[in-house]
Each structure stands twice: as C-alpha cells, then as structure tokens.
A and B are shown apart, each in its own frame.
Chain A
C-alpha cells in the first residue's frame, strides 16, 4: 500500500536554528498538508498546499514557517528560527482531493528544540 514517507524520524535542534522537515507524499496525490501534535495534546492543522501554493493555513503557521515543493516528489516544512514551543511531532499528509477523500499520514518527525 502506498505510504507517505517522512525524514528524519527524530531531529534535535538548538533554539534559534533553522530546520527543514521532509516528506515524500503519495505520487498521484494532489493535496499536501502539515499537522503537528505537541506531546499529550490534539493534532493541529498547520497548512495545506495545492497546485504549488498554500491553499489554507492556521494561525500557528506564522512567518517563521514556510512550505515548498522543490521537485516533483518532495514536500518540505521549514521553521526559520526554532523556539522551545515548536517541539512536537510533525505529520505530513497527502490526499487525492478534498472533502470526500481520506488523507494518508506519514509516521511523523519528532522535533525537539533545546
């Protein structure tokens, strides 16, 4: 069964450093997403991406965050200057369409900011 692949599985970074989280969505999917889950809390939407641009974003997704699809297969989330509160599991997901389609999530990247 097709999978969404995320790398690395765990990243430790110093506060103020830039990090890039990488994802390879399912090849025929058109919509791409990032969600995050702080330990013990709900899964929170960050951003959705379609046709090479952001289609929706949450209040969490401020100027410190950016997304990019640099080639035909990768989808990245960049955090420019990490803060302690950015420590969380970050999940990438993809879907064929909206509304009536299910998402496929990756296994996540655990980001620890020290």
Chain B
C-alpha cells in the first residue's frame, strides 16, 4: 500500500479554519484519497474522499495537489466536537482494505 505522512498533532482555536496536511508521494493513479476521523472512544468516521479534483461536503473540503502527491483536509470552522484523530488513507480502486496510520490528533481550544 502507498504510504501517507501526517503531522502527529495540530492545534486550533474554535471557529477558526483548520488545514490538515497529508503527503502521499508514492500514490498511484488508481488510489483514492480518503479521510476518516476517530473521536475519543468511538469508531472511525468517514469524512471525505477524492481522486483528482477538490471535493466539498457538509463536513469538510478536500484540496488535492495537481500532482496528487499531497492533499489537505480543510475544516472551515473548527468546533470542540471536531477534536479527534484524523487519518489520511489511500484506497486503491477495487480493493476494500483501509490501512490506518497514526493520523493527526487535532486539539481544539475554546
């Protein structure tokens, strides 16, 4: 599986935007970029995914670099409920396995 690299932790203030980076320099053409998050004591939760174009949904936006070697998850206005571990995962089309890394722990301060 292609590997992703994320910062161990990031901090944000409530109601400010948060940009969570992910590097995936060995990504292949059939890899989708998925983001999940895990709130304390809960199961992982799907956030967003994309292939080449930027994507928006009700939870977040995903900005994908033109060469696809990096991406950024954008939370437009962080809330205390967004404090979680965020995982950037490459998922090859046609394969079902998700390989979780350590992710980025996002701390949100009031």
Q: Which residues of A contact B (CB under 8 A)?
A: 31, 33, 35, 42-45, 48, 50, 55-56, 58, 89, 91, 93, 95, 98-100, 102-108
**A100 B93 Cβ-Cβ under 8 A:** yes
Chain B residues with Cβ under 8 A from A102's Cβ?
34, 36, 46, 49
Of B11-19, B60-68, B69-77, B98-106, the stretch lying at the interface with chain A is B98-106
Q: What separation, in Å, do the CA atoms of A12 and B14 have in the docked complex?
A: 39
- In the assembled complex, the Cα of A104 lies from the Cα of B100 at a distance in Å of 15
- A100–B92 Cα distance when bound, in Å, is 8
Query: Do residues A105 and B100 form an inter-chain contact, with CB atoms below 8 A?
Result: no
The interface residues of chain B lying within 8 Å CB-to-CB of A108 are 42-43
* CA of A106 to CA of B93, assembled, Å: 23
Given A45-B99, A91-B44, A98-B94, 18 other A-B residues pairs in contact with their CB atoms under 8 A: A31-B96, A42-B101, A43-B38, A43-B98, A44-B100, A48-B96, A56-B95, A91-B43, A99-B30, A99-B92, A99-B93, A99-B95, A100-B91, A102-B36, A102-B49, A104-B46, A105-B45, A105-B46
Residues of B within 8 A of A (CB): 30, 32, 34, 36, 38, 42-46, 49, 51, 87, 91-102
Q: List 25 A-B contacts (CB under 8 A).
A: A31-B96, A35-B44, A35-B100, A42-B102, A43-B87, A43-B98, A43-B100, A45-B98, A45-B99, A48-B97, A89-B43, A91-B44, A98-B94, A99-B32, A99-B91, A99-B93, A99-B94, A99-B95, A100-B32, A100-B91, A103-B36, A105-B45, A105-B46, A106-B43, A107-B42
